[in-house]
Amino acid sequence: MNLQEFSRRFDIEYNNVMSNAAPGLTESEKSVFLTGAEESVCLGIYTGVLGGAAFEATESARRSIDNLVKTTGLTEQTVYETPISSTSVFYKVPSDIWMVTYESATLTGVTPACLNPYEASVIPVTQDWYFKVKDNPFRGPSKDRVLRLDVGNHIMELVSKYPISKYLIRYMKRPLPIILEDLEDGLSIWGRSVKTECELNEQIHSLILQTAVQQAKVTYEVGLNANTGN
């Protein structure tokens, strides 16, 4: 579904559910609802709220948002002034990361030497949990496990028992907004202001549209009730 079709079908379905009771929406207003619906649908597919199965559980779910999945291997570490551990290393990850789906670390210096290089799982933990398990041989850093904390500004802190030569991360990026026409007067959606097509698989375009229309309906009814004091 291209932008023209999104706009036309939005008007048709919105008028149907509202019985022409509500005023029409501008292209920028429809863009806001379509983008919000796009985000809701992606999150629903990822978590399994939509369809009853999480992102990788079914082929249909994978195909719906597979063009949002990216992989990067990081070998260059960055500097951070306040490490949580003397063995911490830091990586600057891509700014478009939305949800991490898989991550691992390639270790060196593991014994026996024949195991090198060795791939270990990277486990995201909270700071409180890190302090509980950092010295635990079964839950703390080990040959098979590296702990990861987020420190903000797209920087990941990895705490490892062994040196890390590579940090592999596969993630889902946030989709581009759906913008029906160039936005004016300094307006933007997720930092973009130019006309932008939906980049997701066409099989979920109708679901995005229906979700957007329902969100617009709820917004109108909430505003109407607030104005009437109900």
- Across the range 96-102, mean pLDDT stands at 93
Q: Using 50, 70 and 90 to split pLDDT, how confident is the model at 185?
A: confident
Q: Using 50, 70 and 90 to split pLDDT, how confident is the model at 227?
A: low
In this predicted structure, what is the pLDDT of residue 222? 78
224, 204, 198, 222: which is closest to 30 by C-alpha?
A: 198
Q: What is the pTM of this model?
A: 0.84
pLDDT > 60? residue 229:
no
pLDDT > 70? residue 228:
no
Instruction: Report yes or no: 162 and 143 within 8 Å, Cβ to Cβ.
Output: yes
pLDDT > 90? residue 146:
yes
pLDDT > 90? residue 19:
no
Let me know the angle formed at the C-alpha of 190 by 189 and 195, rounded to the nearest 5 degrees: 50
- Across the range 66-83, mean pLDDT stands at 94
Burial of 92 (0-12, 13-18, 19+ CB in 10 A): middle
CA distance 210 to 218: 12
In this predicted structure, what is the pLDDT of residue 47? 83
Q: Using 50, 70 and 90 to split pLDDT, how confident is the model at 59?
A: confident
Contacts by 45-51, CB closer than 8 A, 24 or more apart: 45/204, 46/99, 46/172, 50/207
In this predicted structure, what is the pLDDT of residue 18? 86
pLDDT > 70? residue 10:
yes
CA distance 183 to 73: 36
Token representation of residue 141: 């850093």
In this predicted structure, what is the pLDDT of residue 205? 95
pLDDT > 80? residue 57:
no
pLDDT > 90? residue 23:
no
Instruction: Report yes or no: 131 and 159 within 8 Å, Cβ to Cβ.
Output: no
In this predicted structure, what is the pLDDT of residue 223? 66
CA distance 108 to 37: 45
